[in-house]
Amino acid sequence: MSLNLTTRYLGLELRNPFIVGASPFSDNLSACAALEEAGASALVLRSLFAEQFELEQRALVHHTESSGESYAEATSYFPNYEDYQLGPDQYLRRIKNLKKLLRIPVIASLNGSRLGSWVSCAQQMEQAGADAIELNLYQLATAPELDGDQVEVEMLHIVRTVVSTVNIPVAVKLSPFHTTMTNFALALEHSGAAGLVFFNRFYQPDFNIEDLEVVPQLKLSDSSELLLRLRWLSIVSPHAKSSLACSGGVHHIEDAIKAILAGAHGVQVVSALLKHGPAYLTTLLNGLRTWMTDRGYTSVEEFRGAMNLKRCPDPAAHERANYIRILQSWRV
C-alpha cells in the first residue's frame, strides 16, 4: 500500500510532516545534508536577532562619532557582537549556501520583540532565497505599566509590517502565555501570518542557593512538554485557516502522531535530533509509516486533526469539566 506522507505547510508542499526546528543544526552544512538525507522535509535556521542589528548600528554610531558615552545598562546584558554564531551578512550567506545544498525548503528565523529597522532584514532573507520566514517575538513583559493588550497590539503590528515587506510566507512562533490564545491566533492570521508554531520554549533560569546566583540553563525538552502543545493545537486548529506546526516535546513517533491528531500540519523536532543525531529522523518516519499501515491510513491528511475539539460545542466547559474530574478523582 503506498502511503502519502505529504503535507502543506505555509503553502509549501512538504514530503512529510517532520521539520527540523530552529537550532544550531543550521550552523553545520554537513549536518543539514544528513538531516535531508534522513528525511527532513524542511529546515528552520537558528534565529537572527534584532539585537544584532542594534549592535551593528550602535557600533557604527560609536565609530563615526567616537563618543565616549557608555551604552545603556540593559544593553550590557546582551552578548557582544562576536559572540553571535552568525552575523547578519553571514546569516544571509548561510541561507544562500543552504539553498544550494538542499532540495527541501529553507526557512529563515527572525527574532525580535519591538518594531525596528531589523524588520527590513526579512526582505534580504527573501532575496537570499529563503522559502519562508519564521518570526519569533520572544519577550517577557516585565514592566508593570505594560498591559497585555499593548503587548499583543505591538506583536500584530510587527507581523503586519514583516508580511507587507516580503512575498514569501511568514509563520509566527507563539508563546503559550497569551490570555485568549484562540483569539490571538486568529488575529495573527488576520495580520497575514501564513502559519503558527506552537510554541516557543522558554529557557527558565534556576537559582544557585550556595552562591545566590541566577543560573541560566538550556535543558533539552522531554515528551512531557508536548501536552501543552496538544491542548492548544486541539483547541485552535478547528478555527485556524493557516498552517499549524507543533514545536516542543516531540521525542518519539507517538508524540508526532499525537501532534498531527491535534491538528498540526508540520511537526518540528530539535531536542530529539540533538540527542540522537540526524538519522533519528528516519526512525521517526519509519514509525509513522508503520502506525499508518497498521491502522489503514493512506495519507497524513486522513487523520490530521482527528482528535481536535472540532465536534466539541464548548471546549472551555469540556476543559473545565476534565479539570474538576481529575482533581476530584484523587484519593488519599
Ligand X SMILES: Cc1cc2nc3c(=O)[nH]c(=O)nc-3n(C[C@H](O)[C@H](O)[C@H](O)COP(=O)(O)O)c2cc1C
Per rule CB under 6 A, is residue 136 in the interface with ligand X?
yes
Rounded to whole angstroms, the Cα distance separating 332 from 48 reads: 51
- Determine, following the binding rule CB under 6 A, whether residue 258 of this chain makes contact with ligand X: no
CA distance 14 to 257: 16
Among 41, 109, 237, 242, binds ligand X (CB under 6 A): 109
Contacting residues for 296 by C-beta, under 8 A, at least 6 apart: none
**Exactly one of 11, 24, 148, 205 binds ligand X (CB under 6 A); which one?**
24
113 binds ligand X (CB under 6 A): no
CB of 197 to ligand X, least distance (A): 7
Q: Based on the shown chain and the rule CB under 6 A, indicate whether residue 52 belongs to the binding site for ligand X.
A: no
Piece of 20-28, 139-147, 255-263, 305-313 that binds ligand X (CB under 6 A): 20-28
Tell the smallest beta-carbon distance from residue 122 to ligand X (Å): 15
Only segment of 6-14, 71-79, 217-225, 296-304 that touches ligand X (CB under 6 A): 217-225
Q: Residue 302 belongs to what H/E stretch?
A: helix 300-303
Within its chain, how far is the Cα of 272 from the centroid? 15
User: Interface with ligand X by CB under 6 A: which range of 4-12, 177-185, 245-253, 299-307?
Assistant: 245-253
Q: Taking the complex as a whole, how short is the minimal distance between the CB of residue 226 and ligand X, in angstroms?
A: 8
Q: Pairing between strand 18-20 and 42-49?
A: parallel
**Exposure b/e, 25-61, CB count within 10 A at least 16 = b:** bbeeeebbebbbebbbbbbbbbbbbbbbbbbeeeeee
Closest listed residue to residue 193, CA positions, set 154, 155, 228, 151: 155
Residue 18 vs 309, nearer CB to ligand X:
18
Shortest approach of ligand X to residue 244 CB, angstroms? 14
Residue 248 binds ligand X, judged by CB under 6 A: yes
Three-class SS of residue 243?
Answer: strand
Q: Which three cell numbers stand for residue 25?
A: 543544526
Q: Is 175 in the site for ligand X (CB under 6 A)?
A: no
Residue 46 near ligand X by CB under 6 A: yes
**265 touches ligand X by CB under 6 A:** no
Interaction between residue 201 and ligand X (CB under 6 A): yes
Region 272-331 residues binding ligand X, contact defined as CB under 6 A: none
Look at the block and give the residue holding cell 543550521.
Answer: 26
Among 50, 269, 281, 309, binds ligand X (CB under 6 A): 269
The CA distance from 324 to 256, in Å, is 28
3-class secondary-structure state, position 11:
coil
Q: Would you tell me which residues interact with ligand X (CB under 6 A)?
A: 21-24, 46-47, 109, 111, 136, 173, 201, 218, 220-221, 225, 247-250, 269-271
